Amino acid sequence: MSNLQLMLRISSMRSYQGALLLAAALAVFTFYYLGSGKENFSSTTRRIKENRAAQSTSPELDLSSELKLSEGKSLESRGALETRGVLDYHVLMMFTKVHRSPGLRDRFQVALRSLLRYGKFESNEVLSLHLVSDPPSREIGKAVLRGLLQGASFKYKVIFHDVNALTEKLFPIVEAMQKHFSAGTGTYYSDSIFFLSVALHRILPKEISRIIQLDLDLKFKTNIRELFEEFDNFVHSSVIGIGQEMQPVYRHTFWQYRRENPNSKVGDPPPDGIPGFNSGVMLLNLEAMRQSKLYNQLLEPNAVRQLTEKYHFKGHLGDQDFFSMIGMEHPELFYVLDCGWNRQLCTWWKDHGYSDVFDLYYKCEGHIKIIHGNCNTPIPEE
């Protein structure tokens, strides 16, 4: 073969690989950003672009007649509560841009109504609901909560966190990783909020040792207190509890690595494969995250760069992509939740090239405890 023929062949191969990469990126982008009305940590990253200036510092909405705390002391209250024998169970949800999307308000009502219906706590236990919000959405949230919380059978408190203030703290921690796991071509300041779970252990006070982060598009079928009990199943190396992705998303995203490593289980379906994670339901052991030398090393720019190069990874889903990638390398950091705790309903990939293997990822046997209407999939009525 002549030198000219060889050069033409190499050029053709590179063009083919480039086309495949572009097709993969476009498919993921289309699914999550054009085909989905979902607005949470895995939605369009530019939807929550805010000014840097923080407007408030997590004021508490006092909605409980049984538990009253002073304004502005919500995050520092746990120590005082525990000295009185009161235990806090912390839950965090993103509640932004609700004034621009009425569907988000509807999903929040479904999630909270079902949580209240099944939720049961002891008399010395308090459910602390943390909502990350912008000012217009906060007012909507207050109105919704006043209506729904009237019939709560347990003690609660609600803490609103200003999205600007959290973004200000997150940006220097996660800026370097955004270009690898965001939809935009550059590093956007507003993208940082989609990595909140990644660095929450560095933002919340040390008095909060555990928190559960939830998407809005959920419906509970059991007592949320049972989900907190899953923390007790963590092993010594576990820092995060999370469910597996129930579509071949990462089979697609890791296509180049899989082609170069045909014996790898990366992207393969359960029970023997490593399908990646879905961030709709996450148990964050903040104390373990703070203490884990390995986990904090993985947040460093050089570590992120090395892993993305090794796996040829370019994602678009924020924290979910980051956890899925490091989970391929360090599965010991994760406690895998049973699929019943995050029963995802989306079937987009079944009709987009993966019908032959789709059911291997999608099946979920056993009791369903939380239904997840991801990619804007309707959640069935009772």
Q: Where are the domains of the chain?
A: 39-376
Per-residue model confidence (pLDDT) at position 189? 54
**Pairwise CA distance, residues 352 & 267, whole Å:** 16
Which residues touch 43 (CB under 8 Å, ≥6 apart)?
Answer: 32, 33, 36
SS (H, E, C) the chain: CCHHHHHHHHHHHHHHHHHHHHHHHHHHHHHHHHCCCCCCCCCCHHHHCCCCCCCCCCCEECCCCCCCCCCCCCCCHHHHHHHCCCEEEEEEEEECCHHHCHHHHHHHHHHHHHHHHHCCCCCCEEEEEEEEECHHHHHHHHHHHHHHHHHCCCEEEEEEEEHHHHHHHHHHHHHHHHHHHCCCCCCCHHHHHHHHHHHHHHCCCCCCCEEEEECCCEEECCCHHHHHHHHHHCCCCCCEEEEECCCCHHHHHCHHHHHHCCCCCECCCCCCCECCEEEEEEEEEHHHHHHCHHHHHHCCHHHHHHHHHHCCCCCCCCHHHHHHHHHHHCHHHEEEECHHHCEECCCHHHHCCCCCCHHHHHCCCCCCCEEECHHHCCCCCC
Per-residue model confidence (pLDDT) at position 176? 86
**pLDDT tens, the chain, 382 aa long:** 555 454 545 455 555 455 545 555 455 444 444 444 334 433 333 333 333 333 333 444 444 433 333 223 333 333 334 445 889 999 999 999 999 999 999 999 999 999 999 999 999 999 999 999 999 999 999 999 999 998 899 999 999 999 999 999 999 999 889 888 887 655 555 678 999 999 999 999 999 999 999 999 999 999 999 999 999 999 999 999 999 999 999 999 999 999 999 999 999 999 999 999 999 999 999 999 999 999 999 999 999 999 999 999 988 899 999 999 999 999 999 999 999 999 999 999 999 999 999 999 999 998 999 999 999 999 998 7
Q: Specify the pTM.
A: 0.81
Per-residue model confidence (pLDDT) at position 48? 32
Contact 212, 345 (CB under 8 A): no
Q: What CATH superfamily classification does 39-376 receive?
A: Spore Coat Polysaccharide Biosynthesis Protein SpsA; Chain A (3.90.550.10)
Query: Exposed/middle/buried for 140, CB within 10 Å: 0-12, 13-18, 19+?
Result: middle
Per-residue model confidence (pLDDT) at position 316? 86
Query: Exposed/middle/buried for 293, CB within 10 Å: 0-12, 13-18, 19+?
Result: exposed
**Pairwise CA distance, residues 52 & 62, whole Å:** 27
Query: Exposed/middle/buried for 14, CB within 10 Å: 0-12, 13-18, 19+?
Result: exposed
Bridge partners (DSSP) listed for residue 116: none
Contact 283, 241 (CB under 8 A): yes
